Amino acid sequence: MFQVSNLNREDAEAIADIHAMSLEEAWSADAIRATIDQDASICLGIQTGDVWSAFLILLPAVDDVELATIAVHPDARGQGMARFLMMEAMAHARQAGFQRMLLEVAADNDAAISLYQSLGFGVDGTRPGYYSRKHAARVDARLMSINLCV
């Protein structure tokens, strides 16, 4: 359906733009470049033509891997790119020998929570007031995980 590719440091500006369109506290291009440069990071994206449409970054933590961030360009939403990327990332992490995938998501992000639950992630807990909002009260983070061992 979609073609998933590894991100390169040259992609950091375009990825940072998608992140800024998607999250209030977006990563800078320098932060994305630094993450891509880490040997252990897993940085995947989907291109439409020659333009990046979606990406995610996984960071290893011993036997687990953490979804550090995921974003889809506003013009590409609703096409299943986030689901496809997550499924690819889970397969990649499983093949690399990771036991679990962890993530945190804003408790008010119903679309993301629904996606993660549909992929088999369960809620492990909450971090009260973890996310700040420019024009609203702080929002809890939902901690979620999935066992990658089958």
3-state secondary structure of 136: strand
Rg (CA), the chain: 15
Number of separate domains in the chain: 1
Residue 150 is predicted with a pLDDT of 67
Mean pLDDT by 10 residues, the chain (150 residues): 92 96 89 93 93 96 94 95 96 93 95 97 95 82 93
Contacts of 94 (CB under 8 A, 6+ apart): 148, 149, 150
Which CATH number does the domain housing residue 68 bear?
A: 3.40.630.30
What is the model's pLDDT at position 59?
96
Tally the C-alpha atoms within 13 A of residue 87's C-alpha that lie toward its C-beta: 11
Residue 69: name the closest of 5, 131, 127, 26 by CA. 26
Local structure of 143: helix, strand or coil: strand
How high is the pLDDT of residue 24?
A: 79
- Whole-number pLDDT of residue 39: 85
The rounded distance, in Å, linking the Cα atoms of 150 and 133 is 38
* pLDDT at res. 149: 87
pLDDT score for 64: 96
Structure tokens at 112: 């993301």
The parent domain of residue 38 ranges over 4-147
Give the pLDDT of residue 121: 98
**Helix H or strand E encompassing 106:** strand 100-106
Instruction: State residue 1's pLDDT score.
Output: 77
Q: Give the pLDDT score at 57.
A: 97
